[in-house]
Structures are given as C-alpha cells and as structure tokens.
Amino acid sequence: MERSAHTDTFARDNLPPLDQWPELLLEGNPDVAYPARLNCAAELVDRHVDEGHGDRVALRWPEGDQDKALTYAELKRLTNQIAQVLTEDMGLVPGNRVLLRGPNNAMMAASWLAVVKAGLIAVPTMPLLRASEIKPIVEKAELDAVLCDKRLADEIEHCLDASHPAYCPALKHVRYFCDNGPDGLETVAAAKSGDFTVCDTAVDDVCLIAFTSGTTGKPKGCMHFHRDVLAMCDTFSRHTLKTSPDDIITGTPPLAFTFGLGGMLCFPLRVGASTVLIERLTPDELLSMVDRFGVTMTFTAPTFYRQMAALAKNYSLKSLVKTVSAGEALPDTTRQLWKEATGIEMIDGIGGTEMIHVFVSSPPESVRRGAIGKVVPGYIAQVVDEDFNPVAPGVVGRLAVKGPTGCRYLADDRQQVYVQNGWNLPGDTFKFDEDGYLYYQARNDDMIISAGYNIAGPEVEESLMTHPAVAECGVVGQPDAERGNIVKAYIVLKPGFSADAAMVKTLQEHVKATIAPYKYPRSIEFVSSLPRTETGKLQRFVLRQKAQKNV
C-alpha cells in the first residue's frame, strides 16, 4: 500500500488482513492505471476547472419554477469553502470520518466532495434512518463529526441527547446545511476564502465507508479507496453507459447508496457532464424533469420504470437516450413495457455496496432477453457450486466475481464469508449461457429487495418484537408485481390482543416509527405458531414458500 495521508489511522488500522482481501485485477488494465497519489474529489471537480472547463454546468436542480445550477468553477469554490469549515472550524484532520445525512441536493453532493477533498472519510447514510439505526454506524466507524440537512436534524439531535437510548457521546462536531441561520453550513462556508489545498491522498487511502445492513441488520461498513471511486466510473460508466460530457443525468437513487453516488454524482462529474439533483420524485415528476432539463440518462429501480411506462405518452422524452435499472431484479415484463412505451432498451445491472457499483451489465445494443448481461470490462465472473467448482452453462450456482474493486469490510468477521479463494461472493445465485450472459435467479440469504431498497428481515422482526402485542414473528419477502418484493410478516400475537385490521395498522405504524419507514411490512398475516427446527431456529424458508403460494 502507498504512504497514507491520514493522520488518523483508524481506517487502515481496521482494514481486513491482506490475506482476506479479494484478488484485485489492476495490472495490465489501462482504465484503472492511476498514479500513486490522487484525490478522487479533485479528479471529479477541480480537474475540469484546471483544464479550462470551469464554466460547464455540474449540478442542476429545480427550485419552484426556477432552474438552479452550479458550474464546475462554482462547485470547486463551494467544496473548498466547506473543506475549510471542516478543517479550520471543526478541527478535523485527514482520516477522520464524517457522517453525511441528506436527500439528493446540491449541498449533500458538495458536502460529500468537500469531505473527500479534505482527506476525510465520507460515511453517507440514508435520509430515512432513525436514531437507533444511526447509532451503530456512529459506533462502528468511530464517528465524531456530522454534516446533516437541517430538515433531518431530529434524529441527529436524539443522538446528541444524553437521555435518549440512541445517545452517541462521541459525536462532537455537528453542522447543518440547508440552514440559513448564522451557524448554518452555507453561512459559515460563504465567509471562507475558497482557497484550499487539496489533501495529497494516496490512491489507496480510504475515502468512503458505505454501510449495508446485511441479512442480520447488523451494519457492515464497506471501505472504498479513492481509486475505487474512479474505477467505478472508468469501468461501468465508461464502457457500458458510455457517459459523455454532453449527458444530463437524473434519477431517484439516494447519494447514500453507492448506486446513487455513482449514477447521480460521480459518473457525470468524471466526464464533465451534468447531474440534476431532485430531493423527492414521483414517476410523473421524473418524466416531467426529463423534459424540463433535457435529461439524456435516467437511473431508477424497475418499480419506477413500470409505473412510468403507463405515463410516458404524456411527455415528449425526446432528449432521453439511456435508462439504467438496478437495485433489484428487472422483470422482463417491465423491460418490454418500457421499451414499448419509449422505444428505449433498458440497461440492466447488478452490483453491490461491497463492490461499490455495477459489475454485470450490457449496453442496449448487446442486451439478451432474460439476462442481466455480461461482466463489465475489467471484471471477471464465474458460477460455482458449494465446493467452489465452476459449473457448466445452464447450471444454477453461486456468483463469484473479481475486478479492480472488491469487498473490504470495516473490522468484520463476515469478510471471510463474502471473500473466499480471492473471489467476491455477492450472495446471488445465477446461471450463465455459452456466450457468457448471466441470468439472475435469486438471493441466497434473507435480504428482501423491495423497490430498490435492501431490507433485512431480521431487523424488521426485531422492530415488531418491541411491540407489546407481539409474541413471535417471522419476516420474509413476498413477490410483488409492482415492487419486486414486499415485506411480509407472520405474527403470533400475545393473548388478549385481536388479530384484526386495526392491529395490522398499529404494527405497521410501530415499525415506521422505530426504523426507516420503507422497511415496514406491507402485508401482515396472523398465525398461531411459526415453523421452527428442533433447536428452536426459525425456518424462514418455510415462510418464504408460504409467501410465494399466497401471491
């Protein structure tokens, strides 16, 4: 590894041992032949200014009837000013971790870039997370600083409240943006000079810890280098999406997801293109924004495309060329509906937080019906059996992947589950054909993927069990035509409680109040008992089979 620029060595100290890393395919690939010292935020923003393209528009967003924008030169200055606040006012040093919390807006994007530019480590979190879900992230990553949208302050304030169960005593530095007060980040940053020397980070310094819940709800921190951020741009975005400086991109995935971080920020900035950041979108609004801003490429989940297909006739969509789907399996019916409505062949993809972004996909001209695609250039994949032997075409097995990016969990024993024999095992079952096209079959764990969101069944179970009416429960995914899957809960009530519609609503509202609202069970079935093994272990596979029969 290169000499780190980090004064705070926490990240490198907590990387997995080298013998537990996946094999990284870097040698001989000019796409990822980066210099030993680079800062990915400077590559994404400052480089364009230095090359004379500072007047190009980087960020766009709607504000009422007006269209707002920041050029690359303005974005460079703003990120420098925020970096000054982080280092001069908050006293942070390279290697410190900063929790980021906000919807897709210019200040969330600028804050991410400023954190990385200062040699700090960004830890973005979903806007809907509750304080009880933020606390384990704070503790796992040993965070002491937060940049947060003021409208999302309540949950952070719980973390600062010594009387609250989610109290995080380590949090010392908190600054809110989208706040016009005298202490708001915009106000304080505006007083800074904008003269900032970008931190001289190593190509393999950690710049991002992206948390994924996994199947247990216990958060896993995926540690990514400056090199990884550029690699996702220079593989999937370059070769499959063929992103160009003339692109204008928008979509729904949050910047807190690596799917959103890539598609909604890094991919366009890497080539000097433009991104339209919108905090909340309905299918109708997304189509409207395509026409309003002349969008050429969209990113969203299959659920949205299915809903937009019925509305597409109401819009011209003349600028739209490419539409990217990821986050959950893309049903062929949805692909065909979208194609019939717009004439556009969907770009499907599968990736993962551990790998930072998409590693299997195909450009529109190479799509094969029913397949997600082939491995993205720079990656290799194989389908293996339980003994890690490659299987023949048409045989279902576990997907194993290698490439220029790979899984490095933050101090987590699950590293040895995800990485085996130098390969990344994303937890999906696939089969492939003679031409190398990969066909998704299913997840091989308890993760529920609903409308693009990853939801851990055991986490929802834990939330339900905190309600006084619940004696036992089991949570699984139930297939759904609109959302891919929904969260289905099988619940045994305690004596004295009624299994009626009112109880269903009560329990749904309880889950929404205790964990992120999108995780609530959309379907609840009351049962007299749950299937268990002789040792008492819940047999979720039995519940999954039952849920599938009930569709």
At residue 236's C-alpha, the angle toward residues 426 and 433, to 5°, is 60
Q: Are 126 and 149 within 8 A, CB to CB?
A: no
Q: Which of 428, 445, 462 is the last residue of a domain?
A: 445
* Tokens of residue 304, six digits: 């949205």
Does 241 reside within a domain?
yes
436 pairs with which residues across the strands? none
436 and 500 part of one domain:
no
For residue 479, the domain's CATH number is: 3.30.300.30
Does 28 reside within a domain?
no
429 and 451 part of one domain:
no
Q: Are 270 and 408 within 8 A, CB to CB?
A: no
Distance, in Å, from the CA atom of 465 to the CA atom of 446, rounded to the nearest integer, reads 18
185 and 267 part of one domain:
no
Does 271 reside within a domain?
yes
480 and 540 part of one domain:
yes
For residue 370, the model assigns a pLDDT of: 85
* CB within 8 Å of 120: residues ≥ 6 apart: 86, 92, 94, 95, 96, 97, 98, 145
What's the Cα-to-Cα distance from 465 to each of 220, 267, 307, 472, rounded to whole Å? 23, 42, 34, 7
329 and 312 part of one domain:
yes
Closest listed residue to residue 208, CA positions, set 217, 191, 221, 189: 221
For residue 458, the model assigns a pLDDT of: 75
Q: Are 85 and 196 within 8 A, CB to CB?
A: no
Does 195 reside within a domain?
yes
Does 30 reside within a domain?
no
Q: Quick one: 429 exposed, middle or buried, by C-beta within 10 A (0-12, 13-18, 19+)?
A: middle
Does 21 reside within a domain?
no
At residue 251's C-alpha, the angle toward residues 250 and 256, to 5°, is 110
224 pairs with which residues across the strands? 208
Radius of gyration of the chain from Cα atoms?
23
Does 77 reside within a domain?
yes
Q: Which of 381, 414, 445 is the last residue of a domain?
A: 445
Q: Are 5 and 94 within 8 A, CB to CB?
A: yes
pTM for the whole structure: 0.86
Tell me the residue range of the domain where 434 lies: 224-445
381 and 325 part of one domain:
yes
* Tokens of residue 16, six digits: 């997995």
For residue 402, the domain's CATH number is: 3.40.50.12780
Distance, in Å, from the CA atom of 366 to the CA atom of 267, rounded to the nearest integer, reads 21
Total number of domains constituting the chain: 3
Q: Which of 402, 423, 445 is the last residue of a domain?
A: 445
For residue 303, the model assigns a pLDDT of: 80
* Tokens of residue 432, six digits: 């492939």
Count CB atoms within 10 A of the CB of residue 10. 16
439 and 455 part of one domain:
no
Q: Which residues of the chain have pLDDT under 70?
A: 213-217, 442-446, 533-537, 551
440 and 503 part of one domain:
no
423 and 473 part of one domain:
no
DSSP 459: H
To the nearest 10°, report the CA torsion of 299, 302, 304, 309.
100
401 and 538 part of one domain:
no
Distance, in Å, from the CA atom of 309 to the CA atom of 312, rounded to the nearest integer, reads 5
Residue 165 identity: P
Does 1 reside within a domain?
no
447 pairs with which residues across the strands? 456
Distance, in Å, from the CA atom of 19 to the CA atom of 17, rounded to the nearest integer, reads 5
366 and 290 part of one domain:
yes
359 and 373 part of one domain:
yes
Interhelix angle 501-514/457-465, nearest 10 degrees: 110
Pairing of strands 419-420, 453-456: unpaired
